[in-house]
Chains A and B, each alone.
Chain A
Amino acid sequence: MAKRTWCFGAAALFLSVALAAFVSPFASTAPDGLDKFAGEQHFEGRAEDQGSWTHAPLAGYKAPGVRGAAISTGLAGAAGTLLVFVCGWGMSKAVARRRMKPQMNADNRR
């Protein structure tokens, strides 16, 4: 069971990284619903994306110093997907730790 879960997780993670790396460069670049609405209502100028946080290493989903928009977006997407996985997994591992032991015992008994 554990092995099958591991295989499923690995396959889903691989698919996610592949989507971010190879499909995201071809995604629509049109403004999203909120940005489009902000443009129509002329309040897009209020956006201060650079105002409070200027340290985003992959701002705008672009890897810095990489030539070629598609490669830059693909690299940033793949890196972000792996980072999100590590953070999500790490967080759930940390908060679920208390439960892990009794649950494993319960599984063994079944």
Chain B
Amino acid sequence: MHIPDGFVSGSVNAATGAAALGFCALALARADRTLGEKQVPLLGVTSAFIFAAQMLNFPVACGTSGHFLGALLAAILLGPLNACLVMTVVLVIQCLGFADGGVTALGSNVFNMGIVGGVGSYYVFRLLQAVLPRTRASFLAAAAVSAWVSVVLAALCCAVELGVSGTVPLKVAISGMVGVHALIGVGEAIITVAVASTVLGVRPDLIGAWRPVQAVELRGAALNG
């Protein structure tokens, strides 16, 4: 879903770029509060994993491939603002080092995949987490659904940018992009659940969004006592 130079107009790129810069500035300003001793190396490792996993294109229907996005995974590990930073590091290096995604479209790519894919889908995840029981199974179910949502929402934003830029009619862009990314999102959900359940098995303390029922009860007991 990396937009190359020339697909999206300058004014759209300027608007998305401004939003992306704003979110990154906010994330950097908050990082001293959100990044603890464990999260500092974890942010580097998560970025590296997402970069590597994004290289692994898997075939979906009719001659199309998709690849892992990783924004929601980063958000449940490190929080939504740090996920934005992770995606920005990955996208900047892909753009400057690998000519994957245009330099002028960097703002749109960070906006779609970092802010909408990471921050937006994280709040979908939190909403699901709030209504579902605090168990491992429902945590993974919420991760699966919001991982799918992250890809579809990012594709929807990409489609709107293409439509507003006049590259392709908006309706055509939305149906075309959302349709194929609804399939790619299934791959995203599978990979996100596989990684999240592995980390949950070995190091649950590294998953920032993991709030098992015991911890909540203990905290409640400590507050009462």
CB distance from A97 to the nearest CB of B (A): 8
**Contact call A58/B98, Cβ cutoff below 8 A:** yes
Considering residues B28, B35, B99, which has the most beta carbons from chain A within 10 angstroms of its beta carbon?
A: B99
Interchain CB contact under 8 A, B176 and A27: no
Contact B41 A47 (CB under 8 A): no
The answer on a CB contact under 8 Å between A13 and B45 is: yes
B64 contacts the other chain (CB 8 A): yes
Please report the total number of A residues contacting B with Cβ < 8 Å.
71
Compute the total of residue contacts between A and B using a CB distance below 8 Å. Answer: 231
The residue of chain B having its C-beta at the shortest distance from the C-beta of A82 within the complex is B48
Cβ contact within 8 Å between A88 and B43: yes
Of listed A12, A55, A97, residue having the most chain B CB within 10 A: A12
Chain A residues, CB < 8 A from B145: none
Residues of chain A with a CB closer than 8 A to B97's CB: 56-58, 80, 83
User: 5 closest A-B pairs (Cβ-Cβ)?
Assistant: A89-B44, A88-B47, A85-B48, A56-B99, A96-B35
Interface residues of B (CB under 8 A from A): 1-7, 28, 31-33, 35-53, 55-60, 63-67, 82, 85-86, 89-90, 93-100, 102-104, 155, 158, 167-168, 172-173, 176-177, 180-181, 184, 202-203, 206
